[in-house]
């Protein structure tokens, strides 16, 4: 098969890997993507947290079941459901990755996704991708409560927020217990309140 070589954030990373200890621990590698059913590609905005960490601003996601239009439609549906200006499309691509994997594992899920995408396009006057933000929101709201809507929304919760790319974009440093907690790591770093008196804020005790 023909391959595409790109420097990319590892969109297809597994969920069983331990969370990184800091934003600097994000794995950014060069990988070869097979031309499957589709490949979503994009760029990180210059100056964004992920772009500052990455060796390249390019990212890519190989799709094994969905085609490009279907993958892009699900990506934009995720952005409509959970809009974050600070989250790049590379993070929303994790939603597409998980839905594509679910479709690969179950023919019924693949059918549900394709029928749902077709309904989105119909509700958006023929093309969800070409519709404006207000029309997209109206189309998505019209499907609220349906199995397709529930599937995509349910995947959003973990796909968009439980990953190191989102941690970097939101400035979350990850778990702290293995580093001794937050007492000496940011707990007393408030800069928008006056310093309390020594009596009101005794130093931590490590007995």
Give the residue ranges of the chain where pLDDT is below 70: 1-37, 47, 49, 51-56, 174, 183-190, 201, 204-207
State residue 181's pLDDT score: 72
| pTM for this prediction | 0.72
Per-residue pLDDT of 149-189, as tens digits, reads 999 999 999 999 988 888 888 877 767 777 777 766 666 66
- The whole-angstrom separation of Cα 41 and Cα 48 is 17
Q: Provide CB contacts within 8 A for 81, sequence distance 6+.
A: 140, 152, 153, 156
14-23 b/e with 16+ CB inside 10 Å = b? eeeeeebeeb
pLDDT of residue 107: 96
> What mean pLDDT, rounded, does the chain reach?
78
């Amino acid at each position: 098969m023909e391959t595409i070589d790109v420097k990319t954030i590892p969109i297809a990373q597994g969920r069983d890997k331990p969370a990184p200890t800091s934003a600097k621990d994000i794995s950014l590698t060069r990988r070869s993507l097979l031309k499957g059913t589709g490949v979503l590609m994009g760029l990180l905005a210059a100056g964004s947290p992920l772009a500052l960490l990455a060796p390249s601003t390019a990212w890519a996601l190989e799709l094994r079941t969905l085609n490009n239009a279907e993958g892009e439609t699900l990506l934009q549906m995720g952005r409509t459901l959970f809009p974050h200006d600070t989250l790049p499309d590379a993070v929303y691509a994790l939603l597409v990755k998980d839905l594509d994997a679910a479709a690969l594992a179950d023919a019924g899920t693949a059918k549900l996704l394709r029928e749902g995408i077709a309904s989105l396009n119909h509700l958006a006057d023929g093309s969800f991708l070409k519709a404006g933000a207000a029309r997209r929101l109206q189309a998505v709201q019209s499907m609220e409560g349906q199995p397709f809507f529930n599937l995509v929304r349910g995947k959003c919760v973990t796909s968009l927020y439980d990953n190191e790319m989102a941690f970097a974009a939101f400035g979350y440093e990850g778990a702290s217990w293995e580093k001794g907690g937050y007492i000496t790591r940011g707990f007393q770093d408030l800069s928008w309140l006056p310093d309390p008196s020594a009596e009101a804020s005794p130093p931590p005790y490590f007995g």
